[in-house]
Chains A and B, each alone.
Chain A
Amino acid sequence: MSDLKKEWPLWEVFIRGQHGMSHRHVGSLHASDEEMAILNARDVYTRRNEGVSIWVVEAKHIGASSPDQKGPLYEPSNSKVYRHPTFFDIPDDVGAM
């Protein structure tokens, strides 16, 4: 179909907002290279003043965990309930903690 024409590669876009949070994945776009990807990200994903810093990564360079490993990767942490603050019962009269 479009074998003769080269489609612009797909990029994943990460944006850091104004409040010091980490860069967050906001979506994807197409661009011919990294420079254009950053410019395009600025135009596409910060139309409502969403960010102050942009990262772009060509989608093919993203390493991803395999969905079949969902169990081995994430289930072990399910059993470590003591990592969550609600595990501990603090008497009400101690006050806010």
Chain B
Amino acid sequence: MSAALFEYLLRLGDNTLVLGHRVSEWCGVAPALEEDIALANTALDFIGQTQMWLAYAAEVEDKGRDADALAFRRDVWDFRSLLLVEQTNGDFGKTLMRQFLFDAFNVLNLTALVGSADVRIAEIAAKSVKEAQYHLERSRETVIALGDGTQESNRRMQKALDVLWPFAGEMFVVDAVDTEMQKAGIGPDLAALRGEWVAIIQPVLTSAMLTLPESDFAHKGGKTGVRHSEHLGHMLATMQFLPRAYPDAQW
């Protein structure tokens, strides 16, 4: 049980860690100051959520590690983040489309987790879901505006959707860990969230004049750690540089 719970918490914490890192890469170079500030808020929310998820994961593991040790001292194959969140930022459109697809899932997942049988998870979810709802409101508005905006912005948003779509399906893939969590009343049935997720994104994409790709093909391997993208290793090389180069240092 605690092995599966640890694994499950890593999935939650690694998603926010990796996506928070990606979004923070925009700081100082966003298309407008207002967007720069908004993206930093999103990244800050994710870093805060990461601290909570990974701190709890470390407690459950009970091997003397803490949230920072989990974030900064694991290698690619130990990460349990979705392939979607480790995709590179690309242009602002790709970043916002990635954000929107994840936000819609995140709100549903966290809303379910608020009722988790695990009290700690329920508490973290209750705090996080409010942040996630705001993220979704903002990414939804931006996706609609840019999809509807100019020919150029529509073209870029459609391209972003096409590129990211094959990474969306992994959010709803259920494996043994998810099943065990569901049976224990800790986590939701991810497969069942898909319908609600489509109900959120479909009208938005229609307002945004975007076409949902037909293929249901989904890349897998991120949340199980079996096969991450090449991008993750480069991200970790940057992110983990200091703790790796100066293993004895306190920061």
Contacts and interface: CB of A to CB of B under 8 A. Distances in A.
Interface of A: 8, 29-32, 35-36, 39-40, 42-44, 47
A73 B24 CA distance: 50
A30 B34 contact: yes
A12 to B, nearest CB: 14
B141 A31 contact: no
A35 B34 contact: no
Contact of A44 (B34, B134, B138, B141): B34
Interface string B21-39: 0000000000011100110
B172 to A, nearest CB: 28
Interface in B133-170: 134, 137-138, 141, 145
B32 A8 contact: yes
Contacts of A36: 34, 141, 145
Contacts of B38: 39-40, 43-44
6 contacts: A40-B34, A42-B134, A43-B37, A43-B138, A44-B34, A44-B38
B175 to A, nearest CB: 36
B141 A35 contact: yes
Contacts of B141: 35-36, 39
Contacts of A43: 34, 37-38, 41, 138
A27 B75 CA distance: 45
A31 B41 contact: no
A31 B37 CA distance: 13
A39 B37 contact: no
Q: Main secondary structure on chain B at its contact with chain A? A: helix
Contacts of B41: 43, 47
Contacts of A35: 141
A44 B33 CA distance: 9
A32 B145 contact: yes
A10 B41 CA distance: 22
Given A39-B141, A43-B41, A44-B38, 17 more contacts: A29-B34, A30-B33, A30-B34, A31-B34, A32-B145, A36-B34, A36-B141, A36-B145, A39-B38, A40-B34, A40-B37, A43-B34, A43-B37, A43-B138, A44-B37, A47-B37, A47-B41
Nearest to A8: B32
A36 B15 CA distance: 27
A30 B34 CA distance: 7
Nearest to A44: B37
Contacts of A47: 37, 41
Interface in B48-86: none
Contacts of B32: 8, 30
A29 B33 CA distance: 9
Nearest to B149: A32
